[in-house]
Amino acid sequence: MSIQFFPETKTFRLDTKETSYIMSVSRQGHLLHLYYGGKLGDDDISVLTAGEIRTGFSPLPYEYADGRYSLDCMPQEFSTDGVGDFRYTSISVVNSDGSYAFDGKYVKHRIYSGKYSLDCLPSLFSNPDEKADTLEVELADKATGVRVTLLYGVFEDKDVITRAVIVKNGGNDKIKLRRIMSCNLDFRRVGFDFIHFYGHAYLERLTEREHVTHAACEIGSVKGTPGHEHNPSVVLCDRNANEEYGECYGAALLYTGNFICNAKVDQLNQTRFVMGIHPEKFEFVLNADDTFTAPEVVLTYSDSGFAKMTHHLHDVFRENACRSKYMKQRRPVLVNNWEATRFSFTGEKIVSIAREGKKLGADLFVLDDGWFGARNDEHAGLGDWTVNREKMGGDLSDIIKQVNDAGLMFGLWFEPEMINEDSDLYRAHPDWVLKIPGRQPAICRNQLVLDITRQDVQDYIIKAVNNILDNNHIEYVKWDFNRYLTDTYSALCDNEHQGEIFHRFVLGFYKLLDGIILTHPDILFEGCSGGGSRFDGGMLCYQPQIWCSDDTDAVWRTKIQYGTSFAYPVSSMGAHVSACPNKKTQRTVSFKTRAAVAMSGTFGYELDTTRMTDAEKAECAEYTKLFRKYYDIITYGDYYRLTNPFENTRYVAWEHAAKDKSECLITAVTMDAYTQHHIMYLKPRGLDENAMYETELADGKVIIMSGKTLMKVGLPFDLFVSQYESRQFYIKKV
């Protein structure tokens, strides 16, 4: 068992292959955090880590008023509120008497084999052939009866620990939950850096690193989704940590809604890290015996830099998040018509793009926005999920048959949670949108948001989408969401419960996914939200891949995909080759480089195949073959960031390496062109030092070298080439 409890010291120990997580129940009854880091021996560390401490003006519990035990100074697993700890709290409850206080003390625990699951929320699962265990620790506030159950899931071989929280109103009267954090980590040390992934629409998950100081480092979203601006994954690391060196902790929240992440040094130079649902505009009413489940946080630790941390997260997201058959089955290379046609197409045009797409080596054609209702632009039609037969020139089944006859699978775009005012659905049900009485709602992309907290709206969407999927041979769905939430008011919800709308919207979204995705296990679903606004671990529990960004410019994509890669595997990143000049940046990049960058994702094409020359189609077909050749190491191998594109402006390089060290693929792209001839050396990683490998250099010379030599000397990369040119090295064990 990877989880142990030692009654004599009231200590819990959670061990993975290379890490230990230790906590204990204090003599006052609080659950204290003792250690999380590299795996320890069998020593009892409680005598070294659980010493009581206080400082001036730090309150003491009434019954220990003559001691040194202040909650404001102690490292806690789930911090109290209103009873002496002034740091960021794990919970905020308005009790039935109007007081704000929670003093959770240990009641009981349970240890069992297998990974826990969460009610109505996504969470990682354990596979039958792997070791995973669960710890449940119950804390209770004696005065109010409020109970909190802390959940810990241990994936021993993957060096991953998950955390979640369930709050129960064990009292007789109603309470209001106003803050709940899924994870609290207290460290009795300073010197951390906080790495987060910021951006905006068309430029998501760029990387920013800052020192954690006495001023809080904080990111989050109050937009109803994780949003383009911040991603719910972060890294807490040593100041000198890099890809190969230093301690680092990775954390990712499995939640597709408002979130917050905060790291701050306290007055005693201790560091507190919290992660959970954003408390702004959040209030959840709990009647007697009601429970509230907070989303799961995935944690991992590395003692040797970011790469190892990344491999832990990639492995667990690839193998323990989504049950889609496409997690293990090869995914199709697709052609999407959006950048080629936007809304202006006919059924004949669609079929012609698909037929020419077959010449690129594609397996799948995807029909994007504009096939339904009165949908000829963004002003009308959303919500009316019936085929526009006049525009399509017949039924959807007719188009699908022609695409299938051309040798391609067929995919379709939906935006189920959205509605236009100019739609039959809105005219029939104007109360089905999020809208505050007496106010005109904010408009974005000329659309409003359906109130999916309502059962009748959920039922309509599930029935409408399933009707299309059940009656047509559709093998892929792109699920989009193109605006944030405003005017968050539900017509069916009374005034007291309006603070629940943001969270209930997320729960409603997961119900839609359950009702549509889980009933169509043979369809490949790809998430999208104006690009990457919904790129989070919760989505990956339902959809094996997510459109990484609406910015398909290969140069910017190197930075977008770099930041995304810290937590999320390459197999989750929707990446396509688009036309040049790029529609967003007007930059022109060679097809070779566009293909090389898109290969570090799901790979596909976003262009008008009918306007391509035969030579261009042949070139596409060659790169499609190349992607298929390297598919396994790209999709299932270990990913290495060989350079940081935010620091190295001369070139960017990355590597995919087979887990058995038999082969790897290195890609490098020149960024800034220089007038002087210059050679850089790309040092592969993840090879067997004692094995021999074969590779071809840029000049065509084939060399055979040991893994040790290649990793220490590196491969020469000539920077005296045109800007944005690329080079790929395939290295194979001989």
DSSP labels for 705-730?
A: EEHHHHHHH-EEEE--S-TT-EEEEE
CA distances from 341 to 346, 373, 522, 575 (A): 10, 18, 28, 19
From CA 614, how far away is CA 15, in angstroms rounded? 58
| 690 CA to centre of own chain | 37
Q: Which of 52, 487, 616, 696 is catalytic?
A: 616
Peptide bond into 59 cis (omega under 30): no
Residue of 417, 421, 475, 536 marked active site = 536
Query: Checking DSSP bridges between strand 248-254 and strand 233-238, what pairing results, if any?
Result: antiparallel
CA angle 83, 84, 86 (to 5 degrees): 115
Q: Which residues contact 585 (CB under 8 A, 6 or more apart)?
A: 551, 553, 555, 556
Strands 19-25 and 11-15, bridge-based pairing: antiparallel
Contact 406, 610 (CB under 8 A): no
Active site residue 536: yes
What are the C-alpha distances in Å from 292 to residues 66, 120, 175? 37, 10, 12
Cα–Cα distance, 168 to 284 (Å, whole number): 12
- Which residues lie across from 656 on neighbouring strands? 639, 665
Q: What is the DSSP string of 644-676?
A: -TTT--SEEEEEEE-TTSSEEEEEEEE-S--SS
Assess contact for 517 and 542: CB atoms under 8 A.
yes
Map 579-593 to HEC letters.
CCCCCCCCCCCCHHH
Instruction: Determine the Cα–Cα distance for residues 365 and 475; give it in Å rounded to an integer.
Output: 10
Quickly tell me which residue has 């993957």 as its tokens: 158
Q: Catalytic residue numbers?
A: 536, 616
